[in-house]
């Protein structure tokens, strides 16, 4: 939809569309939602809010009445709701398969890609209750001595649910659990991982972990295999990339302000700076030339701008004239922001032209195929 609007706007700038026809052309690419669209949106919001509130309400009910309930009652309540979600997923999924008509395959494909459906809502509720059940077992039998185990086992157990659903919220829950378990793991084994106890090292690890998650989803979505649609999760890709770039930006700012000019103390800082430059350069090359996309490029430019401002701030704030330093820093912030916006607008225009050419080539190939078939 955004791609179509970009094409139409570019055609308008090239005087291929009259100003009086611009609104009608935009409505073709972005039509106003009808009554059915609004009803579907409201139904999805109420459905997922209901599942989340029901799961959260059950957890708070158990915590508030912890002393009043027996062990058997606690397990019966949590396991009963978990079984209810699983049964609901099975029955609803089976019913929808029976009612599916081959005349409307586009709607079924949309549900498979984006995952906003009633069966996936049941799996989301089951995933939350599975975590509540693990916490209940740990609190009842005191098996959760290390907190990271709860989140790590929870992430492993909901992995089949996330794959079956191919749903952004379930994959996002899995990514959050991985990050939490990793952080708690380093805290629990402070003596074993003493060489990773510095905050800057843990920041680097978090950045690499989220970058690996982003690459895993990107590669799985681009490769041709039966589970390709299960990894088409833009929310997870963008959030993991945002977390990774944020961690690397924090890393380079830490290096800039903590760096001293003694070789022994700055040796590790140079390695972190090289890691930052290698990662940001690779992301820029990939999303500029191999898989053009504005969102990753915007993150890269924002990170580089923050690094430039931080480097300048350290150099200027060490001087005596603080007022002039703040003025110069403000001018640099305006300059790098304006430059980033200029390049993003330029790349957006180039990406729109490339997409238009690819669309024309695809249309011409389809026409040639039809003509060859007719002959």
* Same domain, residue pair 25 and 126: no
Which residues, in sequence order, are CB contacts of 178 under 8 Å at separation 6+?
A: 155, 209, 213
Q: Are 156 and 174 in contact (CB under 8 A)?
A: no
Residue 330 confidence (pLDDT) above 50: yes
Instruction: Tell me, yes or no, whether 60 lies in a domain.
Output: yes
Q: Decide if pLDDT at 368 tops 50.
A: no
- In a shared domain, residues 20 and 128: no
CA distance 46 to 221: 29
User: How confident is the model at residue 21, as a pLDDT?
Assistant: 75
pLDDT, mean of residues 67-88: 91
Distance (Å, whole) CA 250 – CA 205: 12
Dist. CA 285–CA 283, nearest whole Å: 6
Do 138 and 7 belong to one domain?
no
The domain boundary, picked from 170, 195, 220, lies at 195
Does the structure show a pLDDT above 80 at 265? no
| 185 and 134 housed in the same domain | yes
- What is the SS3 string spanning 55-79? HHHHHHHHHHCCCCCCHHHHHHHHH
Torsion of Cα atoms, 365 then 371 then 374 then 375, to 10°: -120
Domain co-membership, 67 together with 176:
yes
The encoded tokens of residue 341 equal 């916006």
- The CA-atom distances, in angstroms, between 176 and each of 229, 236, 306, 314 are 21, 10, 25, 34
* pLDDT over 90 percentage in the chain: 35
At 13 the pLDDT is 72
Q: Is 288 within the bounds of a domain?
A: no
Give yes or no: residues 18 and 58 share one domain.
Answer: no
Does residue 359 lie within any of the structural domains? no
How does pLDDT run across 4-41, given as a tens digit for each residue?
Answer: 666 676 677 777 777 777 777 776 666 667 788 788 88
- Determine the pLDDT at residue 3: 54
User: How many structural domains are present in the chain?
Assistant: 2
For residues 24 and 169, membership in a common domain is answered with no
Predicted pLDDT of residue 117: 84
Residues 90 and 20 in one domain: no
Phi and psi dihedrals of 321, rounded to 5? -90, 90
Structure tokens at 125: 């509720």
Q: Which of 187-201, 289-303, 305-319, 347-361 has the highest mean pLDDT?
A: 289-303
Q: Which of 145, 158, 143, 185 is nearest to 55 (CA)?
A: 158
Regarding whether 138 and 157 lie in a shared domain, the answer is yes
Looking at residue 41, what is its pLDDT? 84
Q: Which domain holds residue 137?
A: 33-98+116-195
Q: What is the pTM of this model?
A: 0.80
- Domain boundary residue, one of 171, 195, 219: 195
Predicted local distance difference test score (pLDDT) of residue 112:
42
What is the band of 373 on the pLDDT scale with cuts at 50, 70, 90?
Answer: very low
145 plus 20 within the same structural domain? no
User: Which pLDDT tens digit goes with each residue over 140-193?
Assistant: 877 655 688 889 999 999 999 998 888 888 999 999 999 999 888 887 765 555
Produce one character per residue of 223-239: b if its CB has 16 or more CB atoms within 10 Å, e if not.
eeeeeeebbbbeebbbb
Residue 100 has what pLDDT? 59
Question: Can you give the pLDDT at residue 266?
Answer: 55
């Amino acid at each position: 939809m955004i791609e179509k609007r970009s094409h139409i706007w570019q055609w308008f700038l090239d005087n291929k569309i009259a100003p009086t026809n611009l609104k009608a052309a935009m409505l073709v690419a972005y039509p106003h939602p009808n009554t059915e669209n609004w009803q579907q949106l409201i139904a999805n919001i109420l459905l997922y809010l209901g599942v989340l509130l029901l799961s959260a309400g059950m957890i708070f009910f158990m915590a508030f009445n912890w002393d009043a309930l027996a062990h058997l009652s606690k397990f019966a309540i949590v396991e009963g709701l978990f079984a209810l979600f699983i049964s609901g997923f099975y029955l609803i999924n089976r019913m929808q398969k029976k009612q599916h008509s081959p005349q409307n395959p586009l709607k079924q494909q949309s549900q498979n890609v984006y995952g906003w459906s009633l069966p996936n809502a049941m799996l989301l509720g089951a995933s939350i209750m599975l975590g509540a059940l693990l916490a209940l077992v740990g609190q009842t039998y005191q098996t959760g001595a290390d907190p990271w185990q709860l989140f790590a086992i929870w992430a492993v157990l909901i992995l089949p649910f996330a794959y079956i659903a191919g749903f952004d919220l379930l994959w996002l829950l899995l990514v959050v659990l991985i990050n939490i378990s990793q952080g708690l793991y380093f805290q629990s084994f402070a003596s074993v991982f003493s060489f990773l106890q510095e905050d800057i090292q843990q920041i680097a690890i978090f950045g690499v972990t989220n970058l690996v998650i982003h690459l895993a989803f990107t590669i799985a979505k681009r490769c041709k295999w039966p589970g390709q649609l299960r990894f088409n999760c833009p929310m997870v890709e963008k959030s993991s990339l945002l977390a990774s770039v944020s961690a690397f930006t924090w890393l380079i700012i830490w290096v800039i302000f903590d760096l001293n000019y003694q070789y022994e103390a700055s040796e590790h800082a140079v390695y972190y700076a090289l890691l930052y430059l290698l990662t940001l350069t690779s992301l820029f090359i990939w999303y500029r030339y191999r898989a053009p996309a504005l969102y990753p490029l915007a993150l890269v430019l924002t990170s580089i701008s923050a690094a430039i401002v931080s480097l300048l701030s350290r150099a200027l704030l060490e001087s005596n004239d603080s007022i002039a330093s703040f003025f110069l820093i403000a001018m640099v912030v305006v300059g790098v922001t304006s430059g980033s916006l200029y390049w993003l607008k330029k790349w957006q225009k180039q990406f729109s032209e490339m997409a238009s050419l690819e669309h024309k080539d695809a249309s011409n190939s389809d026409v040639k195929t039809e003509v060859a078939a007719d002959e």
